[in-house]
Amino acid sequence: MPVKDTHYVIPGRHGPVHARTYSLGASELRPALVWFHGGGFIGGDLDMPSADWVARSIAEKGFVVVSGDYSKCLDGVHYPIPNDDVLDLWTWVGERAISLGIDPAGIHVGGASAGATLAASLAKRLRDGAGMAPKSVILVSPALHYGLPEAQGDLQAVLFAHADNVLTPDLIRSMSDNYCGGSASAADIYAFPSNGEVSGLPPTFVLNAEIDSLRSSGEDYAARLHQAGVDVVVEYEPGATHGHLNEPDEVHATRSLLRLISWLRIHSLSGGSGQVSSDSSARWAQGLSDRMETGLRQQD
């Protein structure tokens, strides 16, 4: 059955927010993922592979995916405008879940790169009363700090060996300044999700690229979640660089996609409380390698 996609324009508080739904059109309500693309807060759209390919591929597995766009930080636009856009879209999805074929109790949120930053920010705002909490959170190559934490362990050697192929700290700081509008918002708990208290968040999957300076941000954030008692899994895709989900013909992208689907499948089976048992986490981990091996054979 082919995936059907439908474009929507949602009225947001700062203007129209564009989104695209992907589904198989099943008669029963399905779990869903609200997904946000990357692009350094200045680029990206619903047609780029990390938006369209990811959404379409996940929908093929029986999920409803809502791929959301947001205001870019250009021409004087800064935080919190893109963050408000994703909250407005989340609210819209929740209000129309049934008509979209979505199980309201099974909506996950995630994103890649800048989209992961916005997804993590959204999860904190929802935790603090802005709306219904997501079932789980998926963060791929996220930028969660105003300034990058120091690389730890093998990451130091990896970044040194690939110095010409990674984002520099200066470039990331410049991106952060442009996004938040300057140092005044650098400590805001929603602008950069690593700021402030991180307890009480939904189960979270952090997937980094091995060869990516932002990996230190994802690893540090995951460690803080674990210390705060949040159910969290952090992994990296071996050999992958930042933005690898925009290369769907490459094995790194396929492997990462299979990781996301595996997480969604297991965490959509957990109870309605939004908490995932250690048994379901174990089943996710146990089945991942088999699913990845099968998916890679199919690609070949």
Where is pLDDT greater, at 162 or 287? Answer: 162
Q: 4-299, which class in CATH?
A: alpha beta
The yes-or-no verdict on residue 297 having pLDDT over 60 is no
Determine what percent of the chain is predicted with pLDDT higher than 90: 85
Q: Which residues of 231-269 are buried (b: 16+ CB within 10 A; e: fewer)?
A: bbbbbbbeebbbbbbbbbebbbbbbbbbbbbbbbbbbbe
pLDDT tens digit sequence for 41-76? 999 999 999 999 999 999 999 999 999 999 999 999
pTM, full prediction: 0.90
For residue 127, give both structure tokens: 């935790």
Q: Mean of the pLDDT values across residues 184-206?
A: 96
Residue 73, Cβ neighbours under 10 Å: how many? 21
Q: What is the number of alpha carbons within 13 Å of residue 98 lying toward its C-beta?
A: 1
The yes-or-no verdict on residue 271 having pLDDT over 60 is no
Q: By C-alpha distance, which of 46, 39, 28 is closest to 141?
A: 39
pLDDT at 182: 82
Query: Where are the chain's structural domains?
Result: 4-299
Question: What is the torsional sign of CA 222, 228, 229, 230?
Answer: negative
Least confident of 140-144, 208-212, 281-285: 281-285
Just list the catalytic residues: 113, 212, 242
pLDDT at 165: 84
Q: Contact 232/203 with Cβ under 8 angstroms? A: yes
